[in-house]
Amino acid sequence: MVIVLEKGIREEDKRRIRTFLEKNSLRVNEIAGDEETIFGAVGKVGIDPREVEILPGVQRVIPISKPYKMASREFKRDNTVVNVRGVKIGGNRVSVIAGPCAVESREQIMESAAKAAESGAVMLRGGAYKPRTSPYAFQGMGEEGVKILREAGDAYGLPVVTEIVSAEHIPAMIDYVDVYQIGARNMQNFELLKKVGALGRPVILKRGLSATIEEWLMAAEYLLASGTEDVILCERGIRTYEKATRNTLDLSAIPILRSLTHLPIIVDPSHAVGVRDKVPPMALAAIAAGADGLIVEMHPCPECALSDGAQSLYPEQFEKMMRDIEVLAPVVGKAVSRRAVPKASQAAPVTGKTTEPSAASGPVTCAYSGGRGAYAEQAIKRYWDDEASAVATANFREVINSVLDGRATYGMLPIENSLAGSVYENYDNLARYEDIEIVGAVTLRIEHSLLACKGASLETVEAVYSHPQGLAQCDEFLSKFPHWRHIETESTSGAAELVSASGDATKAAIASEVNASIYRLESLKSGIETNPRNYTRFVIIARSGEVRCENPNHATVIFSVNNEPGALHSALGLFMKHGLNLTKLESRPIQGEPWRYRFYANVSLPEGVGSSVVSGERIRQALAEMGKIDQDNGVVQGVRILGLYNSKEIL
């Protein structure tokens, strides 16, 4: 049973409850969350929940009806996110683990790690103790294999996962392994499960060759009951009468497990199908079915592999598959997890205030979408007073990926324009990418100029190029030249670049004035925007937990509400209760849940309150209360704080 304790429970009462449960032969696990503390009590004998409910300090008792307890959804409502040295599995992420079936040599595993990392894997796999069907087949490199696997992982910033076949090997593995894999053949080796669970480390538990979902969850229960909280279930195909594939990949297990358990679920398409060209389609199918990630065999030279060569992908195939997953993930409301480049090789590890780049930590790097002269680039320059180096990328998603993989510490994303409204793509991105947070915001005044090549004049111009927003924002000016053709481009700076490259006096671009010097153009007229009160608000993002904003006066939170009268009203009432300004409320459809919406609320402290050291406290309290309603299964759900930050106006 799950015992939810009262907030602020006295230590004495807590001790009494624990003693009572233990006397009744129950094992007690304490799970302390930010908002509430629970006791998970499991054991052979049943106990009347009412006896526990009346103990002082108990808020409520939830009995568990399944044979597996700690693995069940009833035990833990929220999805477990396993954190392996910063690499997360679970939540809205797709995390891909790749590497050869077996570690064969130093060169082989180094090359595998390089290829895996290059294509976007976040963890490295490789067996050192191989459970082979034949005793004459390659049995693995053993201890030496574990060591070089670790060396390769470290060289490319990838935590490592390897199979454990016997508890005897724990001493040889303990210093090197991040995630222990329990193979299909050992899923019901209960003595091994108990020993591995007791290590308290993350475990990938593969489904047994002919195990039912319930048997599989009972195996997970062994691990959880023995001491680890971090179990990742891995569907790798089961035995059926079908011979065309090595096993039959049971993808229906994913949605079934999702309702039965809180544990993350990954899929191994390699051992399921057994032939490499069938791996990518099944990998994509697994993601579409809701898997939290994949574990895939990839070998620098599959023909030379000592085991499972036929099902190992070529590095190029793996790369292509990763690109396809990148495209598919947003369709199911997820984002591909990125590896953080090891700190030592990063240009700018930054902590402290976002507004004050610290000299000791090197130059600040901030990614943006667009080319030289883009408004986002100006926002970066002005926000950091020319002290930051702006990293140009192709699109918004690349901005986020640059932040996630460490190419840039920060990213600058436009979120709304005062004339044109919200940039929905970025609202959706903020919800989808769970490993980024907002660490600052900046409002930039947008002033457009008409730029053209030297020698051009308003009289020579026949066509004007710009981003659709640029054209729309200058419609009054453009209406004076009805004979000009309007041609849309990807970005305003792209329009300037295009006009410059053409050298043609009949072409002009609407872009920021700074593009004149960048692209050797002349400004025919500046300040041509119809409404001078034209502002774009950008948010500054960083990898979650990397940057702490010391004196926040703004927050962005996302949440959804139950479909019942007054639900949104009660959520927003919390802001009023804590004296906060609700400055923006946006709603977006939740993917896969027709007619349900996710709300984005921006809140700020009213004028004059922002200067005190405890300024963020009110915001934190309101958000904590919101989170509490969520935890208690109230009208507000899915609360996530996208960021607590300072906002700056550059007008």
Question: Taking CB under 6 A as the rule, does residue 423 contact ligand PEP?
Answer: no
Which of 80, 354, 355, 536 does the annotation list as catalytic? 536
Question: Taking CB under 6 A as the rule, does residue 140 contact ligand PEP?
Answer: no
- The residue of the chain with the least Cβ separation from ligand PEP equals 183
503: left (phi over 0), alpha (psi -120 to 50) or beta: left
Smallest distance, ligand PEP to C-beta of residue 186, A: 8
Burial of 191 (0-12, 13-18, 19+ CB in 10 A): exposed
Segment near Mn ion (CB under 5 A), from 94-102, 113-121, 208-216, 602-610? 94-102
Instruction: Name the pairing type of β-strands 522-526 and 449-452.
Output: antiparallel
Which of 75, 538, 559, 599 does the annotation list as catalytic? 538
Complex with ligand PEP: residue 236 or 397, whichever CB lies closer:
236
Residues 609-638 interacting with ligand PEP (rule: CB under 6 A) = none
Residues 205-264 interacting with ligand PEP (rule: CB under 6 A) = 206, 236
Sheet strand arrangement including 507-511: 485-488, 463-466, 507-511, 449-452, 522-526
**How many residues are recorded in the chain?**
651
Binding partner of residue 182 among Mn ion, ligand PEP, none, CB under 5 to 8 Å per kind? none
C-beta separation of 549 from 542 below 8 A: no
Q: How far apart are CA 258 and CA 463, in angstroms?
A: 56
Binding partner of residue 434 among Mn ion, ligand PEP, none, CB under 5 to 8 Å per kind? none
Segment near Mn ion (CB under 5 A), from 88-96, 101-109, 199-207, 407-415? 101-109
Q: Determine the angle formed by the axes of helices 253-260 and 213-226, rounding to 10 degrees.
A: 50
Residues 6+ apart with CB under 8 A from 377: 368, 370, 390, 392, 493
Binding partner of residue 183 among Mn ion, ligand PEP, none, CB under 5 to 8 Å per kind? ligand PEP
State both tokens at 338.
Answer: 């990125």
What count of other Cβ atoms lies within 10 Å of the Cβ of residue 437? 25
Smallest distance, ligand PEP to C-beta of residue 109, A: 14
Active-site annotation holds for 536: yes
Q: How far apart are CA 41 and CA 63, in angstroms?
A: 10
71, 97, 101, 283: which one contacts Mn ion (CB under 5 A)?
101
Smallest distance, ligand PEP to C-beta of residue 353, A: 46
Smallest distance, ligand PEP to C-beta of residue 208, A: 9
Complex with Mn ion: residue 308 or 529, whichever CB lies closer:
308
Question: Taking CB under 5 A as the rule, does residue 437 contact Mn ion?
Answer: no
Smallest distance, ligand PEP to C-beta of residue 101, A: 5
Q: How far apart are CA 524 and CA 509, in angstroms?
A: 10
Compute the C-alpha angle 200/202/203, nearest 5°.
Answer: 110
Complex with ligand PEP: residue 152 or 629, whichever CB lies closer:
152
Site string for ligand PEP, 163-192 (x = CB under 6 A): x-------------------xxx-------
Question: What does R_g of the chain's alpha carbons equal in angstroms?
Answer: 28
Residues 264-323 interacting with Mn ion (rule: CB under 5 A) = 308
Smallest distance, ligand PEP to C-beta of residue 264, A: 17
Complex with ligand PEP: residue 272 or 461, whichever CB lies closer:
272
Q: How far apart are CA 128 and CA 149, in angstroms?
A: 8
Question: Taking CB under 6 A as the rule, does residue 150 contact ligand PEP?
Answer: no
Q: How far apart are CA 224 and CA 197, in angstroms?
A: 6
Question: Taking CB under 6 A as the rule, does residue 127 contact ligand PEP?
Answer: yes
Complex with Mn ion: residue 209 or 567, whichever CB lies closer:
209
C-beta separation of 509 from 484 below 8 A: no
Question: Taking CB under 6 A as the rule, does residue 99 contact ligand PEP?
Answer: no
Compute the C-alpha angle 169/172/178, nearest 5°.
Answer: 95
Q: How far apart are CA 415 and CA 426, in angstroms?
A: 6
Which of the residues are catalytic?
A: 536, 538
Note the residues at the interface with ligand PEP (CB under 6 A). Answer: 101, 127, 131, 163, 183-185, 206, 236, 268, 271
Note the residues at the interface with Mn ion (CB under 5 A). Answer: 101, 308
